[in-house]
Amino acid sequence: MNVRIVVILLQILLLPLAAQGQSGNTSVDRSKEAKAQHAKELELLRAAVAQELSGGLFARCLAAVEIADAESGDILVSRHADLLLRPASNAKLVTTAAAVLRLPADFHFETRIARIDSAGRTLACIGGGDPLFSEQDIQKLAEIAAHSTRTVADTLLMDGTLFGDDFYGEGWMWDDETDPFAPYLGAFSINRNTLTVSVSRSASDPTSPVVRIHPSSAMYTVETASPARDGRGFRVSRGLRRNHILVEGIPPTQRTVHKRFSMWQPQEVFADLLLKELRGLGAAHDSTVIVFSAVRAGAATLGSVRRPLQEVLEAANKNSDNLSAECLLRALAFTGSGRDTQLRAADGLHVMESALRAAGLNTDDFALRDGSGISFYNLLTARGLGRLLRSRTLHPSAPAYLSSLSVGGKDGTLRRRMSGHPVSAVRAKTGTVRGVSALSGYVQAPGGRLLSFVIMMQNFAGKPSPYRDVQDRIVGHCLKYSAAAASVRQLR
């Protein structure tokens, strides 16, 4: 055969193999390019976070940060992540995670109205620890009683024995007792266990204050006094461990001044409001006696108001409602003892620790003493919280957990933050007590990689707003990385 013909035939036969080799080289080149780009983006993220934490703000305070790929678990940024620090309301991320792990999806908080005797002359209200119970719900209970029995009651029995006597959390500051963020804890709640005092100038006598309290109840006392400082002072306060409101002076302008306080022994206000509704519907006598006692077995339930678990989860995380978080903690004890047993914070903490251990988390990273984050005894690590966040994305309860978080620039405690970011790009939980500011959750650019982040800052003096600004900028850097990492993933 002609040598030239042989050469041509060999070229034809080897052409596909050469093309395959070129394709393989191209794929390898693209993989190398992707890895190089990924390394560059990661280095940019780390440098940006380091720059944010290098300013004078952090010369005398501490910042712990962990940022990770929620899918792979790869740690992208880590700074002081193993230190036990105060989490503030980031503790609610742990409480709510334990709740979705241990409580059934159809769990609800139930407040019941019942008839004690066959004659129906004794009505009973059994508290179920519902933190979101409202005046409208009290009206519902009264209507149930009025429609379910024709007998007019002469006694109203209030059973609040579901919760123990620990109406205040361990490690809560005694002088915060009147503050609305430190609610009284019990089986009966109304208006989130807060009252609002509204003070205005009298139209007929500008030197006299007009005082209104919501919700309206006979359980409050009001005292007015002359201003303490040369007739120019104005102050509204609530006495410790009593619903006594002191108004000193008059508002400095014609505008009404509103001041919120925690409510002392809200079960008494609850009972007073319920009694008013029962009387208004003709279901109770004017001489009705209120008794606080346990309802004996055999009471005939007339009806109830039920609160779904998801509503309480969202109140705890989106709105950072401390009362909701504490009621969730106590509800955890249902899974260990049943509904007929008194529920205490210590029991809930025990169940929480068990849930964390079962989820494969190191419980040495969590040292919590309440469910809300108010306690000064609470400690956890950024690494432990980061692992918890990533474990939630792989669990069947992930939708319930994620939807309970505040959306950046849209709702909850983040509605006024991160408004410049894409909608729903950030879902997180804020945390603030004196000297502490935290932000933890998830960030994902549209079409990008899902990241978990934990940012804990503490031991600073002054307002938390400068530290929040740094947190928001760090989240912005995470968004840039998430978007860049998406293109890298597509090249694999």
Per-residue confidence (pLDDT) for residue 279, from 0 to 100 = 96
Q: Are 445 and 331 in a shared domain?
A: yes
Domain that holds residue 200: 191-262
Per-residue confidence (pLDDT) for residue 228, from 0 to 100 = 60
Q: Are 122 and 226 in a shared domain?
A: no
Per-residue confidence (pLDDT) for residue 15, from 0 to 100 = 37
Q: Where a domain ends, among 228, 262, 296?
A: 262
Q: Are 398 and 274 in a shared domain?
A: no
Q: Is the peptide bond before 215 cis (omega within 30 degrees of 0)?
A: yes
Per-residue confidence (pLDDT) for residue 3, from 0 to 100 = 40
Q: Are 390 and 404 in a shared domain?
A: yes
pTM, entire model: 0.91
User: Looking at residue 374, which CATH number applies to its domain?
Assistant: 3.40.710.10
Per-residue confidence (pLDDT) for residue 233, from 0 to 100 = 83
Q: Are 49 and 133 in a shared domain?
A: no
Per the structure, the count of domains in the chain is 3
Q: Are 349 and 474 in a shared domain?
A: yes
What token pair was written down for 380?
A: 């956890």
Q: Could you list the mean pLDDT of each consecutive 10-residue stretch along the chain, which spans 492 residues?
A: 39 37 62 86 97 94 97 97 98 98 95 88 96 98 94 94 92 96 97 98 90 97 80 86 96 94 98 97 92 88 97 98 98 71 90 96 98 98 98 90 96 93 92 97 95 98 97 97 75 33
Q: Give a yes or no: residue 424 inside a domain.
A: yes
Distance CA 86, CA 98 (A): 19
